[in-house]
Structure 1
Amino acid sequence: MKPSIEAIKVRRLYLQVAEQLQQLIENGAFAIGSRLPAERELASQFGVSRPTIREAMIALEISGLVEVRSGSGVYVLERAGTRQLPEMQAPGPFEILEARGLFEGEACALAAQRINADQLDRLAQLLAAMEQEGQSVEQAEAFDQQFHCGIAEASGNSAISATVAWLWQLRNGSEISTRFHQRVREEGSRPIVADHEAILQALREHDSNAARGAMANHLQRVIDSLMEQSG
């Protein structure tokens, strides 16, 4: 009888970290009610970035192993039997943002060369809608998504447009990402309007380098802001 061959699965980095932490928790290395080491310390010990540690903590929270207390830290919950980490197939929220930085920066540079007056007017309308007072965070985020996807469409490349739309679908559809963004909404996170104004101005001037830089700066600022707000 020939030995069976199993398909090789690439395990997401944040899940590898979460699994090791789960084993330490289950083995009693971290007592119930104790606070896990600081994020920066864990990042150094595991040899990964702080966003990866943040994603691992969200996975552990979803599994019911820890509680994330804003401004205080991550605490081990009482164990009621063995809990398993959920099978998360989607990338973590910071992985998605990093990918968006790569794709949307170049999409914005290309759009600066190809965008037309109607598309610029549409982006201006979305930016104005994003700035309106009294709307919910969800409404502002919907305008934000349309703004970014509109730029990808203005690149004139259907593959780029489809890829950017897919990254937004990952952001809005995966369990780990929706849990994360729900928390930062509760902390008051909203789209950064000033950044979008800078992006739109670069597009109006048809300046590819400025457009690329404005988008890259915006998404890096989003990462930095979310790291601060979700801590």
Structure 2
Amino acid sequence: MGTNSPTEPTARRTAVERLSAGEGVVRSLRAEIADGTFPVGNRLPSEAKLADRYAVSRPVIREALRSLATLGLTETKTGSGTFVIASAPETGLHLGDYSSRDLHEARPHIEVPAAELAATRRTEADLVRLHALLQSMSAEPSPRGWVELDGELHIAIARASGNRVFESVIAELRGALTAQSELLNLAASRQPDSDVEHAEIVRAIEAGDSARARDAMAVHLAQVAVAVTDLARNPGRP
């Protein structure tokens, strides 16, 4: 892979006006990688230059770059920078030790029965924890902070099931789940839908309705899978 710097069109400062700054940067960079503004094999401008180009902070740029790497579009090399390695997303996402396919095949067999059991086994302490997490997520201004809370919520649901195997597995998957969630929020605007789906799962658990809790979790996981598939299959998505 070449280490040449691209011809950097940094004179054109692009202000991002989207639902969030991070989402706007991801969508703009995806479009510019797809159209060859940043060609495969070339190094992206530095974080500082990208922050100036898109009129955002450097933490926003770092969030966007993590999402591009998850899509398989870029690779960051310590001391060398971030390089474009593909012009369109691969069919699967890179989520640490796991792929998106790994998650989509496994999660329904773990989290759906966990939610079902949680509806009949949850304690008052479990409910307090679940509602506190929902409240924190609704008030969390940081995209990164929200996905960390998202991971905690899924672990808390598994813990409420009373099955330590379910809890341990979700805890093990947390890093991959966080990476996937961050990408979907920035590139596919999933956060508002996830908030609604999470609230329904918790309401069903609180009501002690095991069938409703099972179905609510199944719907949530199915919608996540659809969003990931659409993101990977549609390279033209802005």
Whether TM exceeds 0.5 here: the answer is yes
How far is 1:65 from its partner?
Answer: 5.2
**What is the percentage of aligned positions where both structures have the same residue?**
27
**TM-score for the superposition, normalised by structure 1:** 0.57
Residue of structure 2 equivalent to 1:118: 125
TM-aligned CA distance change 1:139 to 1:60, over 3 Å: closer
Equivalent of 1:149 in 129, 152, 155: 155
Q: Do the aligned residues in 1 keep the contact of 2:121 with 2:162 (CA within 8 Å)?
A: yes
Q: How many equivalent residue pairs?
A: 154
1:66 aligned counterpart, secondary structure: coil
RMSD of the alignment, in Å? 3.1
TM-aligned CA distance change 1:214 to 1:90, over 3 Å: same
Equivalent of 1:218 in 205, 216, 220: 220
The answer for unaligned runs of 5 or more in structure 1 is 1-31, 34-56, 75-87, 173-177
Structure of higher CA gyration radius: 1
Equivalent of 1:228 in 219, 227, 230: 230
1:14-53 alpha-carbon deviations (Å, 9 max, x no partner)? xxxxxxxxxxxxxxxxxx99xxxxxxxxxxxxxxxxxxxx
Tell me how far apart the structure 2 counterparts of residues 89 and 169 of structure 1 sit (CA, whole Å): 7
**TM-score for the superposition, normalised by structure 2:** 0.55
Residue of structure 1 equivalent to 2:114: 107
1:110 aligned counterpart, secondary structure: helix
Does 1:135 find its partner at 2:124? no
Tell me how far apart the structure 1 counterparts of residues 167 and 123 of structure 2 sit (CA, whole Å): 16
Q: Do the aligned residues in 2 keep the contact of 1:189 with 1:229 (CA within 8 Å)?
A: no
How far is 1:195 from its partner?
Answer: 0.5
How far is 1:116 from its partner?
Answer: 0.8
Tell me how far apart the structure 2 counterparts of residues 119 and 203 of structure 1 sit (CA, whole Å): 10
Residue of structure 2 equivalent to 1:168: 174
Give the stretch that moved more between structures: 219-228 or 107-116: 219-228
Structure 1 residue ranges, 4+ long, deviating more than 6 angstroms after superposition = none
How far is 1:66 from its partner?
Answer: 2.6
The answer for unaligned runs of 5 or more in structure 2 is 1-38, 41-69, 76-82
2:137 aligned counterpart, secondary structure: helix
